[in-house]
Chains A and B, each alone.
Chain A
Amino acid sequence: MTTLTAARERPRPVRRTRKTHARRREGLTALGMAAPAVVLLIVFVVVPLALTFALAFTDARLISPTPARFVGLDNFTRLFQDPVFFKSLRNTAYFAAVVVPLQGGLALVLALLVNAKVRGVNFFRTVYFLPVVTSMVVVSLLWTFLYRQDGLVNHVLSALTLGHVEGRDWLGDPATAMPAIILMSVWQGVGFHMIIWLAGLQTIPAELYEAADLDGATRWHRFRHVTWPGLRATRTFVLITITIQALGLFTQINVMTEGGPLDSTTTVVYQAMRTGYEQQQTAYAASISLVFFVLVLAVSLVQRFLTREKD
């Protein structure tokens, strides 16, 4: 008994030092492997973000003879008295509030349609995805042309309704400019989330559907009690990614409307870019970015909280 214990215990100290040595080497190797990505993220994301926050409290301009001074909350006081800023907040919220359910829901419908086991399904998946692969700048230019008063959208609408719908200048009217941009954005982006939903659908075990069929479940019941609960994780991912993407609306506005007509399509990120880059008010633009960052963070945290696992 004692000899056995002794025999078992003798090699231990040696092994432990070798083990800590291996651990340390593992740690150093891991740091070395993570370092390139971490350094690049620090240089190109963390530092400029920190600079943005610092600049928000100064009077820096892009090109200025005098060095930047600390001005406290001046930029924010000005910001909260700026009617265009509130318009851009409202437009951004409107865009996100429509695009998130519309794009998420349509993407799920597309995913269900191409999850069927029929011939040619791969073809449809590919076609629905094509706009995602197309550059947003190209898409925006193309649709600017389609949305013209004498453009293709009006011609198609008129043909489908036998001339009952009056042609209009979709992007030139404050009432229709934002809805037009929303439709185009969903058209461009929905294919990506279709693939994400599809990935989720394919993780649901087929046995669950067989069991539901045995119980005589209708198609709606199958969706409600098997498919929908099975997509819980995917739902969170789709919700958060579309929200972040929608709140950052910029390219479409920059190419199609430049915020007009009558500021009906101006957004927070567009405002930040315009004041910062075109009007060279770097510090003021930075304060817009800071407010925007806090808002996105708050929205993401609320969404995370609402979709948390309730175990």
Chain B
Amino acid sequence: MTSYLRFFAGHVGRVVLALVFALPLVFMLVSSFKPDDQIFGDLGSLRAFLPVGALSLDNYTGVFERVPAARFLLNSVLISSITVVLGVIVNSLAAFALSRMRWPGRKLVLTAVIATLIVPFETFALPLVWWINQLPLLRVNGFHLEWTTGWMDTYQVQILPLVANAFSIFFFHQYFQSIPKEIDEAAIVDGAGWFTIYRRIVMPLSGPAVATVAILTFLPAWNSYLWPLMVVQSEELRPVMVGLSYFFQLNVSWGQIMAYSSMITVPILALFVAFQRSFVNSIASTGVKG
């Protein structure tokens, strides 16, 4: 009897908490289909969370009139997908060298990499802006290539700083250590090189780790706001989050803000729900050891 009660209490707790986490997001999505005056009118009742009343896509058409939303979406898809691909390759290569191969200085490099975890990006963002203005850049000018300096207003300035990531390296490192090293020795006896072991043996065995690092690289790339605000001036290179600032100029429409927020959030939530099983299992299987 008590165990039944306990089960019941646990379930009530789970449901109440689910409401706490889901309702603000439900409110955002539902409001995106309502006119501004109805959003405010519905706040006093449960209607705030329900798709009722004068529902329309007006806020969405308004969004496309107000900002070049399609261009922003395209930019963000481009930036985040390249960041994810490069991030998975670069960080797994480094983690492979750090966890499975023997070389002098390995421990030192691993410690230094993990040490970069404690520095929030904002603390060195400003000197980074100055610094990227000194970096050389190969630009296409008409029919020939020419060297210039300064990475302001480019795609790569939005991609490359996000690629190498201490957390991803650490995560791959932990995962690779759970794969028996005897496999490497056997492969070497068979004449395989280290790169072959990485590409043909270790990476194919690391699917869940790749999925996790892909998600954890994608999110900051898709969500980046401050950095593109500082280094991108041209509208045609801007990512989605920067688009949010357009809605606070002139007449503020909360319906449009909810519509734009839903547009840039809901696809990501859907992607996450589709992949969440491998994500959760992968973190669980590495058993993160601090």
Q: Does the CB pair A37–B104 fall under 8 Å?
A: no
B144 at the interface (CB under 8 A from A): no
Q: Does the CB pair A26–B118 fall under 8 Å?
A: no
Chain A residues near B10 (CB, 8 Å)? 113, 116, 118
Q: Does the CB pair A198–B280 fall under 8 Å?
A: yes
A155 at the interface (CB under 8 A from B): yes
Which residues of A34-90 are within 8 A (CB) of B?
34, 36-38, 40-41, 43-49, 51-52, 55, 62
Chain A residues near B24 (CB, 8 Å)? 131, 142-143, 146, 152, 187
Q: Does the CB pair B94–A38 fall under 8 Å?
A: yes
Q: Which of A33, A125, A236, A292 contacts B290 (CB 8 A)?
A: A236
Q: Does the CB pair B160–A40 fall under 8 Å?
A: yes
Q: Does the CB pair B43–A152 fall under 8 Å?
A: yes
Interface residues on A, range: 35 or more
A138 in contact with B264 given A23-B102, A122-B277, A187-B20 (CB within 8 Å): yes
Q: Does the CB pair B122–A250 fall under 8 Å?
A: yes
B48 at the interface (CB under 8 A from A): yes
Interface residues on B, range: 35 or more
Complex Cα distance, B102 from A287, in Å, reads: 40
**B residues adjacent to A (C-beta < 8 A):** 7, 10-11, 13-14, 17-18, 20-22, 24-25, 27-28, 40, 43-44, 48, 90-91, 93-94, 96-98, 101-104, 106, 109, 113, 116-120, 122-128, 130-131, 135, 160-161, 163-164, 166, 169, 193-195, 198, 219, 222-223, 225-226, 230, 241, 244, 254, 257, 261, 264-265, 268-269, 272-273, 276-277, 280, 283-290
**A residues adjacent to B (C-beta < 8 A):** 23, 26-27, 29-31, 33-34, 36-38, 40-41, 43-49, 51-52, 55, 62, 110, 113-114, 116, 118, 122-131, 133-138, 141-143, 145-146, 150-152, 155, 187, 191, 195-196, 198-200, 202-203, 233-237, 240, 244, 247-248, 250-251, 254, 269, 272-273, 276-277, 282, 285-286, 289, 292-293, 296-297, 300, 307
